[in-house]
Amino acid sequence: MKLIIQSASVVSSRNTKVRDVFVEDGKIVEAFPESEADEVLDGRGKFLLPGVIDPHVHFRDPGGTDKEDFESGSLAAAFGGVTTILDMPNTNPPTISQKALDEKKKLVNGRSHVNYGFFAGATKDLDALKKMKGIAGIKLYMASSTGGLLLEEPEYWEEVFKIAKARDLPVVVHAEHEGCIQKNMGRKGEEPSDYCKVRSSECAREAVELALELRKKIGNRLHIAHLSTKAELELVRAYKNPKLSCEVAPHHLFFTMEDMEDAFLKMNPPLRTIMDVEALWRSLLDGTVTCIATDHAPHTRAEKEQDVWEAPAGVPGVEFSLPLMLNAVDEGRLTLERVVALMCEGPAQAFGLKNKGGLMVGMDADMVLVDMEMKKSVSAKHVHSKCGWTPYEYFILKGWPVTTIVNGEVVIEKGQLKAKNIGVDIF
Ligand code: DOR
Ligand code: ZN
Answer yes or no: is pLDDT of 65 > 90: yes
Q: Give yes or no for residue 142 CB within 6 A of ligand 1.
A: no
Q: Minimal CA–CA distance to 269: which of 247, 242, 290, 291?
A: 247
One DSSP character per residue, 346-381 reads HHHHHTT-TTSSS-STTSB--EEEEEEEEEEE--GG
CA 271–ligand 2 middle distance (angstroms): 14
Span 249-270, pLDDT tens digits: 999 999 999 999 999 999 999 9
pLDDT in tens, 339-361: 999 999 999 999 999 999 999 99
Question: Which 3 state secondary structure label does DSSP give 315?
Answer: coil
Split at pLDDT 50, 70, 90, the class of 240 is confident
pLDDT exceeds cutoff 90 at 88: yes
**In this predicted structure, what is the pLDDT of residue 111?**
98
Helix (H, G, I), strand (E, B) or coil at 271: coil
Interhelix angle 154-167/201-218, rounded to 10 degrees, is 50
Measured from the CB, is residue 294 less than 6 Å from ligand 1?
no
Q: Which of 56, 57, 58, 299 should be mutated for ligand 1, with most atoms under 8 A from CB?
A: 58
- What is the tens place of the pLDDT at every residue in 6-29? 999 999 999 999 999 999 999 999
- Residue 225 CA, closest ligand 1 atom number: 6
pLDDT of 112 higher than 90? yes
54 catalytically annotated:
no
CB of 60 closer than 6 angstroms to any ligand 1 atom: no
In the three-class reduction of DSSP (H, G, I as helix; E, B as strand; rest coil), residue 292 is classed as: strand
Question: Distances in Å between the alpha carbon of 88 and those of 106, 173, 306?
Answer: 16, 12, 25
> Which residue has its alpha carbon closest to ligand 1 atom 3?
314
Note the pLDDT tens digit of each residue in 128-179. Answer: 999 999 999 999 999 999 999 999 999 999 999 999 999 999 999 999 999 9
* Distance from C-alpha of 343 to C-alpha of 81, rounded to nearest angstrom: 11
Say if ligand 1 is within 6 A of residue 370 CB: no
Q: What pLDDT sits at residue 15?
A: 98
Note residues around ion ligand 2 (Cβ under 5 angstroms). 295
Number of helical (H) and strand (E) elements in the chain, helices listed first: 14, 17
pLDDT band at 312 (very low <50, low <70, confident <90, very high): very high
Q: Is 112 in the pocket of ligand 1 (CB under 6 A)?
A: no
Ligand 2 centroid – CA 58 distance (Å): 6
d(CA 128, CA 106) in angstroms, rounded, equals 19
Among 174, 268, 304, 308, which is best to mutate for testing ligand 1, by the most ligand atoms less than 8 A from CB?
A: 268
Ligand nearest to the CA of 316: 1
Name the active-site residue from 54, 295, 364, 366: 295
pLDDT at 188 > cutoff 90: yes
The protein residue whose alpha carbon is closest to atom 4 in ligand 1 is: 268
**First and final C-alpha spacing in the chain:** 24
Question: What average pLDDT does this structure show over 187-211?
Answer: 97
Q: What are phi and psi of 371, to 5 degrees?
A: -105, 105
Name the percent of the chain lying above pLDDT 90.
100
Going from the N-terminus, what domains does the chain have, and what CATH number goes with each?
Answer: 51-350 (3.20.20.140)
